[in-house]
Structure 1
C-alpha cells in the first residue's frame, strides 16, 4: 500500500480513523508521515499510544522513583516475577473457559492487578498506564488458546498456549515525529483538520470487533464484568458499529466522507462486504477518478479450509 500511496502523496498528514492496533499508522509514521490515528474501542487506542504517540519510550519516572528501580528492564523483570494470583480473570478464562492455562492466567491476573494499583496510586501518567495495558494485552495474546480472536477458545491446547506467559513492553515505532491518537468515532476524527491522506478501513461484515475482541477490551477497561456463554462475553458489551449493519453501512460511508477533507482517499474494503463493489464505486466516484487495486487475502471462514476473499484498495485523488 505504501508504494501505491507514496507515488501520489510522498509526505504529509495521514489519517487512520479506524486505526485498530496501529499497524498501518505505525508503518506510515516510520516512513515520515504525520499520523493521526483513532478508534472507538479502548484497547486499540492504547496500542496506538504505545506504538506511535511518542518517538521514544516513556521514562516512567514517577513509577521508577516509587519502586526504587532504574530502568525498563527492571520494570519488566518485576512484572514477570510477581507471585501468581487467582481471581476473576483466572476463574472466567481459565477455569470456566479454556482461553489460558491456569498458570498463565494467574500470571496475567497478577500483572493486571499490579498495574491497576500503580495507576490508582497516581504513579502512572495516562499514557504510561495505556502503554502498560497495551503491552499486557499484547503479551497475553501470545499465549491465548485461540485462533486469533476471543470469540471462542480451542478445544485442544494450541502449542502457543502452553508457552509460559512473559510480560513484554511494546516499543514505539522508530520515527522522527510523534503521532496523534484519539479515542473517538471516525466521524469526529476526520473533522479535526484537512488531511493529505485519508485511509479508511471500516468493518465490512456483521462481525463486531467489540464482540470478537471482548477480552482485550475488558483488560483495557480494568473491569470485572458479569460474563456469559462459551465466549465469556460481558453482558453489557457495547453496540455494534453502523458499518456492521446491512441497512446502515452504505449511508455511514457517505456521511463519513461528507465530513472529511482530504487530498487522497485510500479505501480498503472486501468484495463480499456489506457495501457492494458497485455501491462503493458510486460513492467514491463523487470525489474523483478511482484507481482500483486488488489484494488477495485469506478471508474468515468457519470451515477448515481457508477462503480466499478479494480485497480492494480504492485510491481516489480528490478532484
Structure 2
C-alpha cells in the first residue's frame, strides 16, 4: 500500500467500529480524506461516505475507493483500443516502454528515484494512460483507478524513504525489484460514495451528515511538496522543474498548500464544526501535534459534551522498527450542543 503520512491504516478498523456502534449505518463525511483509508473502511461496512482533499493524487485514490468498484467496464477503451478485459489492459501497461519520457530523464537519469528499467516501465504505463485519457476513452472513475493503481505500484519500487521530497543516495533493495503494474484492490461497499476535490469547508459547508470526522494534518509537513511527483503524475501533466534541485520538485507554489496549512489550525476546525451539519463530531488527533491537546479539549467543549478515547497507533517512520504513538479520538454529540453552549456563556 502507498506509504502516506497520516493514512490511519493502523486505526481505520477501530474508527469504523466506533462509528458503527454510535449510529449503526449512516452518512459520514471525512473532511481530510487522504488516501481514503478511513472512508473505504466505512464504506465496506455499509455507510454512505463523502470525502474530500485539496490535492489531486489523494483525490484519485478517493474516487477509486469511495466511488469505484474492483472491476470497471472500460467500454470506450474496448471500442477504441480493442482491449476486452482488465487483464488485457494490465498486460498492455506492463509491456509499454517510454525511453524518452521526462519521467526517465528527470527521475532516473538525473535523480535516483527509480532504476532505469523501472523508470522505462513506469513512464510507459503513464504515457499510455495519458493517451487513453486524452482520446476520451476513459471515464472519471476509470481514470482514477488507473492512476491509483499506477501510483500504488510505482511506490513499491520507489527509491525513497517514504516521501518524494528526496531520493536515497544508493538504490535500496525494494527499488531494485522490477516494476509491475497491478490493479489497486478496491473493496467496494453497499453504497457508492462521493469523492470531492477542494477545501473541506467549501466542499462540505451547508451539508448534513450523521457523523463529521475530522482528521486534520498534525504537523507542518507540506504534503504538496512531499508528494510532488505522484501529484504531477495524477494530473497527467509534465511538471516544470528546476534541474538544480535534487528533489525534482516543480517550480512555483503548489496548489492546495495554503488550504493544507489552514487545516492545521483550531480556528479552521471550529469553522468546519460550525458550518457543517452533524449529529456526531469525531476529531482524531495525536500526541505532539501542532494544536495542543488542551486547546483541542477546551474548544470542542463549546460544541457539546466531549468524550475522549485513546488509541495506540503506529506512527509514520522511515525505519524498520515500528513507532507507536497515542491517538486521541474526541467524540461530541449534537444532542448536548445547546446545553454545553449555555454553560459556556453563563
Which TM-score tier does this pair reach, normalised by the shorter chain? Answer: over 0.9
Provide, for residues 126-179 of structure 1, a one-character-per-residue CA deviation record: whole Å limited to 9, x for no partner.
222222112111111111111221112122322211111111122432312111
What's 2:340 paired with?
A: none
Answer yes or no: is 1:284 the counterpart of 2:295.
no
- Once the two structures are overlaid, the 10-residue window that deviates more, 302-311 or 8-17, is 302-311
Map 1:1-319 to 2 at 5 A: 1-55=15-69, 57-228=71-242, 229-236=245-252, 237-238=254-255, 240-241=257-258, 244=261, 249-300=265-316, 308-318=324-334, 319=336
- Once the two structures are overlaid, the 10-residue window that deviates more, 142-151 or 304-313, is 304-313
Deviation, structure 1 residue 221:
1.3
Closer/same/farther in 2, CA of residues 26 and 239 from structure 1, 3 Å limit: closer
**What TM-score comes out, normalization by structure 2 length?**
0.86
SS in 1 for 2:312: strand
**What TM-score comes out, normalization by structure 1 length?**
0.93
SS in 2 for 1:64: helix
Length, aligned pairs only: 318
Distance in 1 between the 2:326 and 2:185 partners?
Answer: 33
Deviation, structure 1 residue 302:
8.2
SS in 1 for 2:174: helix
Provide, for residues 46-73 of structure 1, a one-character-per-residue CA deviation record: whole Å limited to 9, x for no partner.
1111112034522000101111121110
Q: Is the 8 A contact 2:315 2:325 kept in 1?
A: yes
Distance in 1 between the 2:224 and 2:169 partners?
Answer: 23
Q: Is the 8 A contact 2:311 2:328 kept in 1?
A: yes
Distance in 2 between the 1:37 and 1:116 partners?
Answer: 25
Distance in 2 between the 1:28 and 1:144 partners?
Answer: 30
Q: Is the 8 A contact 1:197 1:266 kept in 2?
A: yes
Q: Is the 8 A contact 2:59 2:196 kept in 1?
A: yes
SS in 2 for 1:227: coil
